[in-house]
Amino acid sequence: MADERGCTAGRLAALCGHLDEIRRDLRDVPTGGDSPVERVLAAVRGGGDVADALDRLHAVLQVGGDPWGLDGYADEGSGLRGMWPEGVARPLTGEHVYLCPGGVCTRSWWPRRAAEPVPECRMSGAALRRKRL
């Protein structure tokens, strides 16, 4: 099921890129706490059912009042959440892109300045891997 894997990888990238923001948003959910996030992290690190854990986190966010759930955090690695209005340019890619170090999710990041530190994967703690375009 390529579509299901793509959805899982995209949602995992959204969680990786917005982990702190998602944890903050979960504080406002009636059930409170970030245990749904911890379940995803445990599944990723331990080889468990990542798709199921992501689906549960997605549902908790929706129940908490965010109709987009995890999908609302998808940003193709730009660091900016939401849609791109007409006339607003996306960041330029340059000649290198940084990707998920394990190739598990679709997270990507483009440096905006030469000396900018490379972000870490919030699942493994490893730096994103560099790929020449």
Q: Cα(46)–Cα(3) distance, rounded to whole angstroms?
A: 23
Segment 2-50, tens digit of pLDDT: 445 668 888 999 999 899 999 988 887 776 677 899 999 999 999 889 9
pLDDT of residue 114: 65
Segment 112-132, tens digit of pLDDT: 776 788 999 999 999 999 887
Q: Cα(31)–Cα(11) distance, rounded to whole angstroms?
A: 21
Please report, for residues 26, 43, 94, 104, 112, the alpha-carbon distance to residue 119 in angstroms, rounded to integers and kept in the order given. Answer: 23, 21, 17, 16, 12
Residue, of 73 and 1, whose pLDDT is higher: 73
User: What three-state secondary structure class fits 55?
Assistant: helix
The domain spans of the chain are 2-73
pLDDT of residue 79: 44
pTM: 0.62
pLDDT of residue 32: 63
Geometric angle at alpha carbon 70, from 41 and 16, rounded to 5°: 40
pLDDT of residue 112: 77
Residue, of 101 and 90, whose pLDDT is higher: 101
pLDDT of residue 93: 41
pLDDT exceeds cutoff 50 at 78? no
pLDDT of residue 131: 83
**The two structure tokens encoding residue 108:** 């990507």
Residue type for position 21 = E
